[in-house]
Amino acid sequence: MGDDSSDEIVLARSADDDSSEICVVEVVRDTPGPGRARRKRSTSVARARRAGGKQVLEEGSSDSGPRQKKLRNDVRHEKEAHRVTAVDQGAEKIFYLKSTDTLDSVYQAYCKGGLPVKMKYKSVPVSRHLTLEEMGFDGRHCITIHRPDQASGESGIGLRINVDGARAVEASFCREAVIEKIFEKLSEMGFRGDFLVRNGVVLDRTASIGSVMGAGDVIDLVSKDEVEYRG
């Protein structure tokens, strides 16, 4: 530089536009006169690494503060969580959930204005109360969102089924389908039992769903040893 009293700053930047590495090499102050002295100021090297779309400060000056710590925590959370893709009418949305997290956050993201939605995984209806582990999430399949206006024309009935003392699933069935179809769906989801009971009455497997149940009804999946017959 022409002016001896100015600071010379040398900034080295990678030629690769995709790299985010910046190195500040040195800052040298030149003073006029015979007693010119070079005073080297502290240098700092900061390397930013892209991870999951976020930048995390690895090394550098003491500027590292709450913001950098939050970014590191966000990246660590994404590494521990599963990447869950939900598809609603062709539009994708990404969620990060742990194996023990339920699908409720996905459901709430789409259930706006009080309008219910249905979720399916591998073409099987899944309840928002199921965890990723319980539904057998493998990371290769997405969750599809189905709204009432996407119905195929079949008159469906939404049911809540208690599969054990602590868990319940929600599913929709055609009114004309027989009770046996409920057993088949539950079996596909990994739940097995001998009877479906509504208000203490064992449902006939050959009866049509619409003839014995209405929308929003709650039924129980039970095994033989859980049933006590009364005379």
**231 and 155 together in one domain:** yes
Whether 113 and 165 share a structural domain: no
Rounded to an integer, what is the distance from CA 206 to the centroid of its chain?
A: 39
CA distance from start to end of the chain:
104
170 C-beta neighbours (distance < 10 Å), count:
20
Query: Which pLDDT band, with edges at 50, 70 and 90, does 131 fall under?
Result: very high
Instruction: Output the average pLDDT for the chain.
Output: 73
**207 has a pLDDT exceeding 60:** yes
Q: How many angstroms separate the Cα of 76 from the Cα of each of 55, 63, 102?
A: 12, 21, 20
pLDDT 10s digits, 69-114: 666 655 555 557 899 999 887 788 999 999 999 999 999 998 876 6
**Does 173 share its domain with 224?**
yes
Residue 231 belongs to some domain of the structure = yes
In the predicted structure, residue 203 carries a pLDDT above the cut 90: yes
At 54 the pLDDT is: 43
Domain extent, residue 13, equals: 7-56
Q: For residues 222 and 195, is the Cβ–Cβ distance under 8 A? A: yes
Check: CB of residue 173 under 8 Å from CB of residue 181.
yes
pLDDT(57) > 50:
no
Taking the C-alpha atoms of residue 110 and residue 65, their distance in angstroms, rounded to an integer, is 35
Show which of 129, 149, 169 is a domain's final residue: 149
> Rounded CA gap, 148 and 111, in Å?
11
The residue with tokens 């991870």 is 51
